[in-house]
Every structure is written in C-alpha cells, then in structure tokens.
Amino acid sequence: MPENQLWLTHDDWSRSYVLPESVACNILRRGSLDDLGAWNVARGVLVELCRALTATPVSLLYDEPVQRRDGARVAIRVTARARCRDGRDVIVIYRSERTDTGPCPDFWSVAVNGFIPASGRDVRRPSPPWIAHTAAQTRRAELGR
C-alpha cells in the first residue's frame, strides 16, 4: 500500500462514511459537522473493511476504555465485524491510546480475528484504508491464499 495511504491525513477527517441501517452500532450511522472525529474513523474502519473484503457490514462498537479525569490519557477501541461471501465473519479491533504527559508512550494496534498483525508506538495513526488493507492481507494468510 502506498505510503500516502498509511497514516491518517486531512482526507481521512473530510471523508463521510455512512453505515446502512442494518448495522448494529452504538454511534450515529451518518456523520455530521459536530461529530467526534474518532466516530468518523470508526465508521471508516468498517466501511473500508467491507470494501477491501467485498463483505457485508454486521456491527460496529466504539468504546473509550481508558479516560483519566485530568485528560492526560485517552484511548479508543473500535470493533468492526463484517461477513464475507463465504459466510465467515472477520472481526477487526483497532486500538489507539495517547497521553499528553507522563512516561506512558502513545500506542496503537490492529487485531484481525484475534491476531495482531500491526502495532506501533508512534504519534501517527493508521488510516481506515490501511487498517482494511492489513485485515485483508491477514485474512488471505489465514486462509492460506
């Protein structure tokens, strides 16, 4: 995948990802101007996953598991589930944690069906197309293709 599609860019914040009504999710299915940017990234992970796998979106769960009162540590977790043509589900969990202070480094990871093919300790975060590309490559390896 080209380097310009690897990291989040201004384009990722301007894309509008819309989820079908059939998708079970805990955030709005359509973005708006006052939406959280992280919600758009979450929707983007599922939409791009379905595009990369030619799959049907099933569910999306957005969570903020780590929040400190002083705002020093912030984390998001996106769990996207898509159903492939062969009837098998692919579950992608994207985690991102950052800190404004302290010894804890920034961290992100992508898990595909329980396997973690990519992670990093970097302030740059992977884009939804790159996360989907990684999931598709991992699934091909899982199926032996």
The Cα–Cα gap between 29 and 50 comes to 15
Q: What is the pLDDT of residues 105-129, one digit of tens each?
A: 688 999 999 999 999 887 678 889 9
Nearest to 42 by CA among 80, 4, 10, 14: 80
3-state secondary structure of 53: helix
Nearest to 96 by CA among 108, 87, 105: 108
Q: Tell me the residue range of the domain where 63 lies.
A: 3-143
The number of domains in the chain is 1
3-state secondary structure of 143: helix
For the cut 60, the answer to whether the pLDDT of residue 145 exceeds it is: yes
Which pLDDT score, from 0 to 100, does residue 2 have?
Answer: 55
Q: Are 134 and 140 in contact (CB under 8 A)?
A: no
Which pLDDT score, from 0 to 100, does residue 36 have?
Answer: 74
Length of the chain: 145
The Cα–Cα gap between 139 and 136 comes to 5
What percentage of the chain reaches a pLDDT higher than 70?
79
For the cut 60, the answer to whether the pLDDT of residue 3 exceeds it is: no
3-state secondary structure of 24: strand
